[in-house]
């Protein structure tokens, strides 16, 4: 009885988790910035998630749960610790930046549709900014899902996202020729 | 509201995170305010640029194969009920279909509704796949309803089932977006049908208040909002049967 329950769980785990494989790998690679480390991270995430699947709370979001495991695993890894030590999270109170005037990184980017520039700028961001930007814009998570994934309140999601975008614009601005 | 107040909400506007009425008000403001319109456009362009640039890495074929083998190496049992397997497989197809939909910013609202549907479908499937799907086992609504007292932050009425083909199997607590709700399981000619009841706040802004029936997820699902509560009826029975059970709920306690 007990065995059959466990097996039923691992079957449904695989069926729920494998469709997320590509996107989790993409996220892991952005976090670690290294292929081998990303593979190890994804592998460890799946192992941990499978082990903890029986404690996965039904009704909470499975995708957010997987991302949360991946991220926590990353944060406790050597690369993760190094990445978070180099950045201090300032106050979360910072408001969004104000109006955009004249030639902007955005318009130039769209004109050139230069992915490499944006990718370089995302790579430069501190990991807390990189992850929230990816969860929102690439994974298209709602603020609520992001809050669950990062274990932070929605208000913090909004302020951190705003600061991440401001930082990204700053990075791009530096890379673009003036004018 | 002045421009400066709107500016504070620009990100939420571009991310589609404003309440529908606020979204409409913002739309109206943007039409008459070149500064906010330019800012919103710039942010949207940046969002799209990040979206496109962010999909950068794909796992190598070897790594994919290694992971698939690892997953396949787990012990399996063929005795898992065929029905549950089928339902789970259907849900996975549904989830993949929903994931495939998460494309454009314009489609965000639809996608958000789909996310709710797929979460509800997950709840339904995961519960039925469990060895003990219900925490209170009873066909008596007067036993099941009081069981929820003190466990969920609202009260609800269960319909009388006499002279209907439905029977109540029991209930359990459940969660949607960290909000506690009630999950009731009914049976109809071997089909199990879930009824979920949550405070409307848990899905606010993501679903239309009116009753809607959908077949998009391979499950039949009906959802509506009444008295501050959001109801979902979902199962692999036909839409007509799902609607019958939905009607029974709609006719209670009003």
Q: Does B61 touch chain A (CB under 8 A)?
A: no
What's residue A116's pLDDT? 83
Contact A59 B123 (CB under 8 A): yes
Contact A43 B39 (CB under 8 A): no
Compare B108 and A142 and report the one with higher pLDDT: A142
Report if residue B161 sits inside a domain. Answer: yes
Backbone angles phi and psi of B179, in degrees to 5:
-110, 130
Question: What CA–CA distances, in Å, run from A178 to A108, A114, A123?
Answer: 11, 16, 22
Q: By mean pLDDT, which of A55-64, A94-103, B34-43, B123-132 is the weakest?
A: A94-103
Residue in A134, A19, A1 with CA at minimum distance from that of residue B131: A1
Contact A25 B85 (CB under 8 A): no
Q: What is the CATH number of the domain that holds B165?
A: 3.30.200.100
Structure-block tokens of residue B110? 């639809």
**Does the domain made of A105-175 have the CATH classification 1.10.10.10?**
yes
Residue B198 β-bridge partners: B230
CATH no. of A2-85 = 1.10.1740.10
- B44 & B145 share domain: no
Residue B171 β-bridge partners: B136, B184
Residue A152 contacts residue A160 (beta carbons within 8 Å): yes
What's residue A35's pLDDT? 93
Report if residue B234 sits inside a domain. Answer: yes
| Residue B14 domain boundaries | 3-54
Mutate to test the interface with B, among A140, A143, A172, A176 (most CBs of B within 10 A): A140
- B49 & B109 share domain: no
The mean predicted confidence, pLDDT, of chain B is 80
Contact B53 A165 (CB under 8 A): no
Contact A50 B79 (CB under 8 A): no
**C-alpha span between B142 and A55 (Å, rounded):** 31
**C-alpha span between B81 and B99 (Å, rounded):** 27
Residue B188 β-bridge partners: B191
Mutate to test the interface with A, among B3, B13, B35, B57 (most CBs of A within 10 A): B57
| CB within 8 Å of B59: residues ≥ 6 apart | A21, A22, A25, A39, A42, B67
**DSSP characters for A62-87?**
HHHHHHHHHHHHHHTSHHHHHHHHT-
What's residue A76's pLDDT? 85
Q: How many domains does chain B have?
A: 2
- B102 & B42 share domain: no
**DSSP characters for B23-59?**
HHHHHHHHHH-HHHHHHHHHHHHHHHHHHHHH-----
- B156 & B36 share domain: no
Share of residues in chain B with pLDDT > 90 (%): 17
Please say if the pLDDT value at position B226 is more than 90.
no
Report if residue B92 sits inside a domain. Answer: no
Contact B67 A21 (CB under 8 A): yes
- Around Cβ B80, how many Cβ atoms within 10 Å? 18
Q: Which helix (H) or strand (E) holds B181?
A: strand B179-188
Please say if the pLDDT value at position A135 is more than 70.
yes
- Extents of the domains making up chain A: 2-85, 105-175
Spell out which residues of chain B touch residue A118, defining contact as CB-CB under 8 Å: 49-50, 52-53
DSSP state at residue A19: G
Reported pTM: 0.54
Q: Does B126 touch chain A (CB under 8 A)?
A: yes
Three-state DSSP class for B85? helix
Three-state DSSP class for A152? coil
Please say if the pLDDT value at position B75 is more than 70.
no
Residues in A 18-47 with any Cβ partner in B closer than 8 A: 18-19, 21-22, 25-26, 29-30, 35, 38-39, 42-43, 46
């Amino acid at each position: 009885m007990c065995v059959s329950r466990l097996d039923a769980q691992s079957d449904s785990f695989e069926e729920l988790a494998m469709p997320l494989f590509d996107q989790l790998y993409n996220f892991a690679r952005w976090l670690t910035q290294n292929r081998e480390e990303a593979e190890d991270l994804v592998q460890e995430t799946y192992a941990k998630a499978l082990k903890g699947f029986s404690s996965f709370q039904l009704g909470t979001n499975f995708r957010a749960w997987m991302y949360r495991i991946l991220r926590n695993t990353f944060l406790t890894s050597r690369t993760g610790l190094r990445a978070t030590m180099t950045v201090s999270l300032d106050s979360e109170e910072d408001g969004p930046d104000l109006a955009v005037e004249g030639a902007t990184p955005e318009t130039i980017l769209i004109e050139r549709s230069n992915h490499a520039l944006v990718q370089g700028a995302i790579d430069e961001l501190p990991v807390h900014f990189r992850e929230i930007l990816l969860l929102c814009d690439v994974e298209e998570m709602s603020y609520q899902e992001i809050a669950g994934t990062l274990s932070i309140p929605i208000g913090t999601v909004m302020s951190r996202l705003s600061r991440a975008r401001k930082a990204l614009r700053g990075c791009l601005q530096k890379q673009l020729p003036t004018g | 509201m002045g421009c400066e107040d709107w500016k504070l909400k620009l990100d939420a506007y571009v991310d589609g995170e404003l309440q529908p009425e606020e979204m409409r008000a913002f739309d109206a403001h943007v039409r008459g305010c070149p500064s906010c319109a330019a800012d919103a456009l710039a942010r949207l362009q940046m969002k799209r640029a990040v979206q496109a640039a962010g999909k950068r890495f794909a796992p190598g074929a070897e790594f994919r194969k290694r992971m698939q083998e690892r997953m396949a190496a787990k012990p399996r049992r063929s005795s898992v009920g065929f029905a549950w397997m089928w339902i789970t497989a259907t849900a996975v197809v549904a989830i993949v279909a929903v994931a495939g939909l998460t494309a454009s910013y314009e489609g965000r609202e639809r996608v958000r509704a789909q996310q709710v549907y797929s979460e509800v479908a997950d709840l339904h499937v995961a519960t039925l796949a469990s060895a003990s799907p219900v925490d209170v086992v009873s066909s008596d609504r007067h036993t099941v309803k009081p069981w929820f007292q003190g466990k969920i932050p609202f009260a609800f009425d269960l319909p009388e089932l006499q002279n209907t083909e439905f029977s109540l199997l029991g209930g359990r607590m459940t969660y949607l977006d960290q909000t506690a709700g009630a999950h009731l399981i009914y049976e109809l000619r071997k089909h199990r049908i879930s009824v979920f009841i949550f405070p409307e706040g848990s899905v606010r802004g993501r679903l239309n208040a009116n009753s809607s029936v959908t077949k998009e997820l391979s499950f039949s699902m009906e959802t509506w909002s009444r008295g501050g509560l959001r109801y979902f009826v979902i199962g692999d029975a036909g839409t007509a049967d799902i609607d019958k059970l939905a009607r029974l709920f709609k006719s209670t306690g009003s």
